[in-house]
Amino acid sequence: MDINVILEGSFEKWLRTLGYADSTIYGSARYVNDFFFYLKTLKITELEAINPKILADYYKYLQKRRNKRRTGGLSENYMNSNFNALRRFSRYLQETGRPFFEVSVRIRPDKQTPKIILTTGEIKTLYKACGSDYLGSRDRAILSIYYGSGLRRTEGVNLDVRDILLREKLIFVRKGKNYRERYVPMTSAVMDDLEEYIYQGREYIRSFKKDTNPEAFLLSMQGKRMCGNQVIERIHKLALSAGINKPVGLHTLRHSIATHLLQSGMTLEEVSRFLGHSSLESTQIYTHLANE
């Protein structure tokens, strides 16, 4: 099959359907584009022509390529991200009935940057930094979604009001990673914060731009579904007000609740189900963080 017929838009749409973060979608498309450009230099135009040798040669090519942003070559992490994108692309080809290729190249990534974890005391200061008005109500709901419930970035922004099951004390995640659905239990404190936001803060926001997006749970002041960057901006403002001198993001809250749950005595299997991990390997990192 001619490589040129593989539309980037459909690959990106497939990634978005599976619940990948915007940054991963953007990066994956860029890395695949780079690979296509490399194939053109070899005059390769058919997917069927891609084989292990070509992929191995591509790795050697990346090892020799200069870094465009700083002196020296490309980092191992960059090359690892590049090949992870090609694995996603190959899976996309396979699941859409197109010729696909196996990516067997394994790259040892650079030493990873330690995950940022907030203490329980710092989490309390974030909650205290929330105002008493409708924006404060929404801020507490954001904290309860991303810390109290441990949701991923896209899982939180994709929530609809109907997904907050107050009577059952559950949150229904319909757009999880790899499009896996799950139910996340709510504590009484989380339920109180979400209920207050739904019936007070959110209704006040809707009064400005009523029914612009009546289904979305987290609403912007324009009455539209909040995007990830808008939610992150609110978290940054809370961290600044709370005097927290750490780079705080949405995944920081997810890392923190996972660590705190393990410290409280919850088993690895229970935390894995809570986070929506497909395997225990993804959860095991938090055992080291909890011990530290």
Nearest to 88 by CA among 8, 143, 186: 8
**What is the rounded CA–CA span in Å between residue 14 and residue 20?**
9
Beta strand pairing call for 182-185 and 164-165: unpaired
E strand intervals along 62-200: 164-165, 170-173, 182-185
* Catalytic (active-site) positions: 152, 177, 251, 254, 277, 286
Q: Give the chain's radius of gyration (CA, Å).
A: 22
Q: Which two structure tokens, joined as six digits, stand for 163? A: 């997904």
Q: Which two structure tokens, joined as six digits, stand for 27? A: 């990066």
- Cβ proximity of 214 and 205 under 8 Å: no
**What is the rounded CA–CA span in Å between residue 165 and residue 245?**
35
If you ran DSSP here, which 8-state letter would residue 163 be given?
A: G
Residue 292: count of CB within 10 angstroms of its CB: 8
133 Cα distance to chain centroid: 29
E strand intervals along 54-191: 164-165, 170-173, 182-185
